[in-house]
Chains A and B, each alone.
Chain A
């Protein structure tokens, strides 16, 4: 008995002491890096890529189906799926949640992680990296607030606040300016982030570690924000901010671009391009929109041929027999609209195309591969069968480039030098800065053209560059229109320009005739002025989002944002 007890006690003791010795060791993950293994530069690439090229759904749902369409750069599609006329215009939460709100709300975690790790007291503390992070933060919040209006900002970086309040857009703008000022002051005259392991170099896929360029980008963004805020209720900072930015130096010669990776294939979450969407989901394809094609065409702008493919053309026959519930009058109305679309694109009947109506079908014949025709926006789905795919222009191959063909993928535009020149011209016209607006306008055009020369390697005709003339309003319209063109493929900005300035007016697509332009959905024919908050926030941070809505206006796409208020 005694022996047994001793044996037992011994067993238990041995058991309990011996067995936890290696526990710390086995709980140390072998396939992960700890802070001591890493340099901050590796995180910079992620920070940049995640904001501009992260996820196919952000590009597809968020930009192609929202801002690219709303800006009047792209339009519709040519399958039943992408053609539901109203599609993105009629709110569909899966698109907004998955493509816009979702990725933007989530990016905050990447950003905050970065700022925490390189910021004061962070494990990889470095002031210059931190300044770079502040610029990225500002780019991010600016794009975020311009889509939604009030967003979590002041409390969004506070780790102790689980349900942050939504700040008014004006406060977000002021906060961004403060962050940019801080970044500008930290960078000062520094050109690099440091030496050795701290040297950023090629891991900065925007500026290759050139901190002075980051400072210029910060100034350019300040200028952009000042112009956007100018004249909005309660705004009292645009003059100071704009003149400070110009004085400190904007991106005058260098475009801020994020290169694309021609071999990228991991469309689900690695990095992505328009070509991924174009070739992976052929039915999701889209057309050049009527406003962009017609504006370029009217100016005889050489960029048209770089941005757009000519239409396929040839002979197209469509049935014009009324369908169930349709009248002959409606068919005629639709045909008239089709014809006016061709005419508006500058095509001349019987010269550029023929139009032959028989009892039950219409035949259109157009010269093949010559003309450029943009597709009108937000058309009623009933028009689909008349608006044959062969009659409208695809985006050029430089945009729809299939990956793995050894050809570069179009870079993401963050801030183009052309735009900064236009912005200075605008600031001068608005009395926020002094100088010769016309010459900045001219230099802006040259830079904007050069952007395409650099990218596409083509020589552009600068002969018909317009002069900045006319009334101040007309001049502002010209500048706005050029900025809108310069921000092709950067449609979050292009759409904001349309909302802020109202130019080009052809892009402000509204409707009161459901036969042509779909009225479906809550937007009810109005121009989309913002996107609706993600469905999830009503389930996770309901009180704060409702407070924001109460102040800002209903959470619908028609609600005008602060910067675009009349």
Chain B
């Protein structure tokens, strides 16, 4: 339907039937004042004026301050200078200043408005929008116009003043007589006069950036209008690929911009978490504890290769999100079991990437959702791009100093529900004997306070410790303090910022400390030459990040603690002054498989130190007024040192072990971009960009691992008896060179066509496949003037469509088969192993093809805005390690296979609910739904297993016709075994759900009253399933509240397979839950949850100038306050086992989600 109307539009354009000039313009703009050329210019301006009268905020007043001193220059030169000093673009007709005399000016620190008022002749008017200034001649006043129609009527003239809510006059506001083409424009003092055509007229007053006001004409001839400021975002200038700023309305694809305030008000240690619920189609999954990473997925999983992560680009530089080498190798990232039958121990992922960005430095974040938007970023953009623009110094030559202090208190948002009726024991009685009969189960007797054997060797009252899990955690204090200083002048600007993050974990003895230094300078070396440079140094030290996830994490031993164990008693986790090896052994509540959480908090010493340097220099040169170019060189260098010590006596590692790894990553990008802007005809504007990029990515690392400390009280490498592994990963280099170009055509400010093309040459592919090209095209049409020219209902309508392709290469060393030398050999002999993966020198780049269609609407005087996108993305020739059943001599074969598609819809709805002088309420809703389908794998292979849970009860698969992340497991059959215990399906082959949510929603609100403001975000994740291995464990151990059921025994109904008759055998609760906990289908939960994600209440302290401040504000903030609804027991369905696709859909003893309450203080000097 919409496509059809778009087609009609194009046809219309071809027939040159375009633009029926609006009558009032014709009426008031006499042809003798303007040449034909000018008329068109002005008309286009008027369009903008009337139908796109929306801007983010009226920011022109007093926002940035300008200082200009020029002698005897044309006005155009003054405007050029203003453009140099500010971000404003100016629009005016070419001949506008022809007859204007030269000026000499000397202004210091004046607002743009003051400046323009002073320099423009008084028959000129101007209008300042967010980033645009429009200048034109004042239309002739009513009195100067004659019109037969008007003359013949009884003319009544209404006049008055149009002001903003503060009483400032609004020049250039449009006054319409509703239902007619009669209209006028207010003068410089906001005054207007209009001669009515009809007697009972309704006057409609609109002005860019303000809410349109309507009033019926009464008896009075004087009508004043006070317009309220409009919050809207359709006329935004957004940063697009390659850092090019574009008007959002001209884009043929979907982008979403999130302002810096939106992510740095309520801070998370990881910037990624702050994007949750704020962008339609964006999903953030977290794993693990303090300092750990997260994965951002945009529009579903495009790839089956296990990395759905969007590309992060900071100030035009793609940043590295590599994972350091550790003992778990690839498992660190994925938690995967594939290719290794050993259960994976200690899966925890470290941060990196976006988590190293200081939220306070963020000016804005643009989310480029599909390949269409991102095609110019090439290979890595298939999953979408998060563009982060950081702050520059202001152009004001006043020294700006801002101090922000954020203090948060974190506590677990919720914990599983535990039972408090039965204690440590088995078969309904307490364990009797600490040697022969002792275990971790809480299948004991009723907690009656009687004296029973206790793990520490004493006898102790057998009574419940209801808060023993909760007591383990502490309230963690996080303090984030930042200071920024900026200053500007004609010659440029500079900004320095420093942020310190000092965060405690809710697990004691674990904390994070980071320092972020950031220096940004812009130097205007001449009229033509600008240099912009930035250097960021980031250093982070994470101490004892608790290994929480999985079967061997700290929380396993905490959650499953018997219900009568007092946590405090576990603080004695080792004998004092241990002598013999036995003395060193950890003291815990049960056997060798169990650990002591306090031991793990204090004796498992991990330390991850990361240093990162990010920087770039950009040299911008403006050859002529239509041609400019820049060259940018940037680097992202990260060093990670990871120490891990398990002290002697630990569970599973009685001799202790040590692991030290050092990794470094580098990414160097050199690029250039040449931009040409030309007006081909009056209506047809043209912008062309041609650029190239050389990207060099490096990684290298060393790892050494050993066990058995010679002297068991000091922990360093030389004290290790057995070095069990030393690994070196020599410098690996990947280079990608690219050339790209784009052409943007704008026709008459209503039709926009973009085409872009990029060719990459990747060093990771063979000569024949090295070069690959991809293209994109998009079209946008602003069509409201055809549908609702008088803005009865619609203020803005844009339809857009795009199609794009992105190619995706691979990692280094993926094409030539080699053999690795195992570290140890066997019996002292050199042994060589065979690689598991059959490599493929014919590997070619993956291709992501996407098409997208969208519509953007603004209606009801811009009170309501709607942005809808539908998209269809498919990825072909996926580079994937297909699990081959060993037949090839390998476990996996790396091939280009299959096709995965994602189809979805995204809706963003914004509404200005209340708009009064002192009170406003703006609300917005996001909805995104994505459907993922595995269309094709490879011949002879209809499905494969990504991963299976450590208990082997769950398989996460991709199946042809299914979706990525389908969860398969066992269900109860309804039959029981000879003892009466429930039986499960023979194999985990039942489809239990899918790890990907059906839809995501967000509802954010901003309410302002005078100096107070409140905002809150409620977000929802609906559909999709997760396997809670946490719950299964809790039930197996008899600690969950559920496990109270059947303590007195149960006789299940169903056929007893022992007798082949109806069951009569009774089983105990322990037997029941032991059986049930191994049947994964019992622990599949919907991911459905709705939570109050963020809440802030702020107060701008007024009149602070008396104490030397520019402004001061204070905010109370909260994060993850509560669930409005949640389906899963025990777990937060968003806390997954890891970040790769293979472990989505599984949750196992993840760190509790944190509820943060905090206080922000911002002082501007």
Contacts and interface: CB of A to CB of B under 8 A. Distances in A.
B737 interface: yes
B885 A46 contact: no
Given A156-B886, A269-B340, A538 B593 contact: no
Contacts of B690: 8, 12
Contacts of A92: 1078
A266 B726 CA distance: 12
Contacts of B827: 45, 205, 259, 261
Nearest to A316: B436
Interface residues of A, number: 117
Contact of B816 (A28, A78, A522): A28
Given A45-B826, A540-B883, 20 more contacts: A4-B623, A8-B690, A12-B739, A24-B767, A33-B820, A45-B825, A46-B822, A46-B834, A58-B341, A162-B939, A203-B830, A261-B827, A261-B828, A265-B707, A270-B826, A325-B1068, A520-B979, A535-B955, A536-B955, A538-B986
Contacts of A16: 692, 737, 739, 761
Contact of B886 (A30, A105, A388): A105
Interface residues of B, number: 116
Interface in A233-266: 259, 261, 263-266
A279 B977 contact: no
Nearest to B957: A539
Interface stretch (A112-120, A188-196, A217-225): A112-120
Interface majority SS (helix, strand, loop, mixed), chain B:
loop
B945 interface: yes
Contact of B761 (A20, A109, A318, A319): A20
B816 A45 contact: no
Nearest to B986: A555
A459 interface: no
Closest 4 CB pairs of A and B: A80-B439, A324-B428, A32-B818, A108-B886
Nearest to A323: B429
10 contacts: A34-B819, A46-B833, A94-B950, A106-B891, A112-B890, A156-B887, A388-B436, A521-B977, A522-B983, A538-B988
Contacts of A384: 436-437
A103 B341 contact: yes
Nearest to A15: B692
Contacts of B62: none
B413 to A, nearest CB: 31
Interface string B885-899: 111111100000000
B761 A19 contact: yes
Contacts, number: 323
B940 interface: yes
Contacts of A365: none
Interface string A3-16: 01000100110011
A519 B427 contact: no
Interface stretch (B220-228, B728-736, B1015-1023): B728-736
A56 to B, nearest CB: 8
Given A20-B763, A80-B591, A106-B891, A519 B694 contact: no
Interface in B549-571: none
B884 interface: yes
B968 interface: yes
Given A46-B831, A94-B951, A12 B692 contact: yes
A157 B957 CA distance: 25
Contacts of B1078: 92
B886 A266 contact: no
Interface stretch (A280-288, A444-452, A500-508): A280-288
Contact of B818 (A4, A33, A53, A94): A33
Given A4-B627, A79-B591, A520-B979, A385 B834 contact: no
Interface of A: 4, 8, 11-12, 15-16, 19-20, 22-24, 26-35, 37-38, 42-43, 45-46, 49, 53, 55-58, 78-81, 92-94, 97-99, 102-103, 105-116, 152, 155-159, 161-164, 202-203, 205, 259, 261, 263-266, 268-271, 279-284, 318-319, 323-325, 381-382, 384-385, 388-389, 404, 514, 518-522, 524-525, 532-533, 535-536, 538-542, 555-556
Contacts of A555: 986-987
A111 B888 CA distance: 10
Q: Which of B652, B813, B1049, B1068 has the most CB of A within 10 A?
A: B813
Given A109-B886, A540-B883, A555-B986, A27 B340 contact: no
A462 B212 CA distance: 110
A266 B727 CA distance: 14
B816 A34 contact: yes
Contacts of B445: 324
B722 A404 contact: yes
Contacts of A152: 885, 887
Contacts of B955: 535-536, 539
B509 interface: no
A483 B591 CA distance: 37
A261 B834 CA distance: 22
A159 B978 contact: no
A384 B432 CA distance: 11
A203 B829 CA distance: 7
B816 to A, nearest CB: 7
Given A24-B767, A38-B819, A161-B887, A538 B436 contact: no
Contacts of A519: 977-979, 1058
Interface string B1092-1123: 00000000000000000000000000000000
Given A80-B441, A112-B886, A539-B955, A266 B824 contact: yes
A33 B833 CA distance: 11
A155 B813 CA distance: 30
B340 A280 contact: no
Given A45-B831, A81-B593, A32 B819 contact: yes
Contacts of B1068: 325
A42 B1049 contact: no
Contact of A542 (B672, B725, B989): B989
Contacts of B884: 162
Contacts of B951: 94
A103 B928 CA distance: 43
B890 A109 contact: yes
A320 to B, nearest CB: 11
A161 B940 contact: yes
Contacts of A56: 342
Contact of B968 (A319, A520, A539): A539
B944 interface: yes
B692 A268 contact: no
B818 A80 contact: no
A35 B832 CA distance: 11
A155 B440 CA distance: 47
A188 to B, nearest CB: 27
A457 B708 CA distance: 30
Contacts of B825: 45
A27 B891 contact: no
A93 B952 contact: yes
Contacts of B76: none
Contacts of A542: 989
A115 to B, nearest CB: 8
A159 B889 contact: yes
B83 interface: no
Contacts of B592: 79, 281-284
